[in-house]
């Protein structure tokens, strides 16, 4: 075999190998995603008229799949079943809003945050503004039973001089404000914004900053999956998709520096276990 023939043969083999590798990468990129949500957590996920699911997280999941050039199957179930389903490899990741905490980050990998999760007061349209926690003195709050907001009310009622009533659902708590049985409802910032957007008789007021974010949750052993989906999330922040979804579903524009518009330098939530600080070069479709 001449040197030229050997060179051409080698190049041909290398070309075939590269083609096969490229085809393999394409296959991986096109692999459908499977995930789950709590389908009762409006406006993040809820039943849609005519069937299926709708909401902020539903559209976020669909946008991630589109960015990756694939499809996504979103299953509605109770939140308590999502993490076990993830660990059993039923789901590729958890799409439902999941607060990234140090305790959880020891058992899960997180994408970077896509929304800040704070506590917001909802007051009547003509209700007295709440400018700070000291303004709660002498007022009555309405909170959802068993929620983090009930816990906050219980822990802080004596300190700030307010009373509170507990309701079976947050919708009932908002109704208590509307009817005058309570001065304010305390709920998550996105749920509070949704309530005010849907009901012109109430409006949002003071927000308690927690410093926490909602992020997508992955299995500890699936760093490749985390990084792949997180790359798509970064692209959706950069092109304004996440911000537009926030405006559509919650009725407010994300502030500069908030999780919805800030692209994290590495992968994951900074300062939590599982965070990879190595800078990431964005690759967007």
SS3 readout for 155-182 = HHHHHHCCEEEEECCHHHHHHHHHHCCC
For the segment 136-158, the average pLDDT, to the nearest whole number, is 94
What pLDDT is stored for residue 26 in this prediction?
Answer: 41
95 vs 82: CA distance, rounded Å: 9
Confidence of residue 80 (pLDDT cuts 50, 70, 90): confident
Q: What beta strand segments (E) does the chain contain? A: 33-38, 46-47, 53-54, 72-77, 93-99, 108-110, 115-116, 119-124, 140-144, 163-167, 184-188, 202-208, 213-219
The band of 30, judged by pLDDT with boundaries at 50, 70 and 90, is low
State the pLDDT at residue 20: 35
The confidence score (pLDDT) of residue 13 equals: 40
pLDDT above 50 for 158: yes
Q: Determine the average pLDDT of the residues in 257-263.
A: 97
User: From CA 151, how far away is CA 170, in angstroms rounded?
Assistant: 14
Which pLDDT score is estimated for 15? 41
Q: What angle do CA 222, 190, 262 make, to 5 degrees?
A: 55
With a cut of 60, say whether residue 24 has pLDDT above it. no
Residue 112 has pLDDT above 60, yes or no: yes
Distance in angstroms (rounded) separating the CA atoms of residues 251 and 255: 13
Q: Average pLDDT, stretch 154-180?
A: 95
If we measure between CA atoms, which residue out of 57, 63, 82, 100 comes closest to residue 190?
57
Condensed to tens digits (0 to 9), the pLDDT of residues 178-229 reads 999 999 999 999 999 999 999 999 999 999 999 999 999 999 999 999 999 9
Mean of the pLDDT values across residues 33-52? 92
End-to-end CA distance of the chain: 45
Average pLDDT over residues 125-131: 96
Instruction: Taking residues 149-158, report their average pLDDT.
Output: 95
| Main-chain phi, psi angles of 2, to 5 degrees | -70, 165
Q: CB of 148 within 8 A of CB of 123?
A: no
């Amino acid at each position: 075999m001449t040197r030229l023939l050997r060179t051409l043969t080698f190049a041909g083999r290398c070309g075939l190998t590269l083609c096969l590798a490229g085809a393999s990468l394409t296959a991986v990129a096109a692999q459908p995603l499977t995930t789950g949500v709590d389908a009762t957590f409006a406006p993040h996920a809820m039943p849609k008229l005519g069937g299926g699911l709708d909401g902020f997280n539903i559209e976020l999941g669909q946008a991630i799949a589109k960015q990756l050039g694939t499809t996504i199957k979103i299953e509605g179930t109770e939140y308590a079943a999502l993490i076990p389903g993830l660990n059993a490899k039923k789901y590729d990741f958890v799409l439902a809003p999941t607060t990234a905490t140090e305790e959880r980050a020891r058992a899960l990998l997180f994408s970077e945050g896509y929304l800040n999760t704070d506590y917001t007061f909802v007051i009547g349209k003509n209700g007295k503004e709440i400018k700070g926690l000291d303004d709660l003195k002498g007022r009555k709050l309405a909170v959802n039973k068993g929620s983090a907001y009930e816990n906050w009310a219980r822990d802080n009622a004596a300190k700030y001089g307010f009373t509170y009533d507990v309701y079976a659902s947050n919708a009932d708590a908002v109704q208590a404000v509307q009817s005058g049985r309570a001065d304010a409802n305390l709920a998550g910032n996105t749920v509070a914004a949704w309530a005010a957007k849907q009901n012109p008789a109430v409006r949002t007021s003071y927000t308690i900053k927690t410093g926490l974010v909602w992020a997508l949750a992955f299995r500890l052993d699936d760093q490749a999956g985390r990084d792949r989906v997180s790359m798509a999330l970064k692209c959706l922040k950069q092109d304004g998709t996440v911000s537009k979804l926030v405006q559509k579903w919650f009725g407010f524009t994300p502030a500069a520096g908030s999780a919805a518009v800030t692209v994290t330098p590495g992968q994951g939530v900074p300062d939590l276990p599982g965070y990879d600080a190595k800078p990431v070069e964005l690759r967007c479709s």
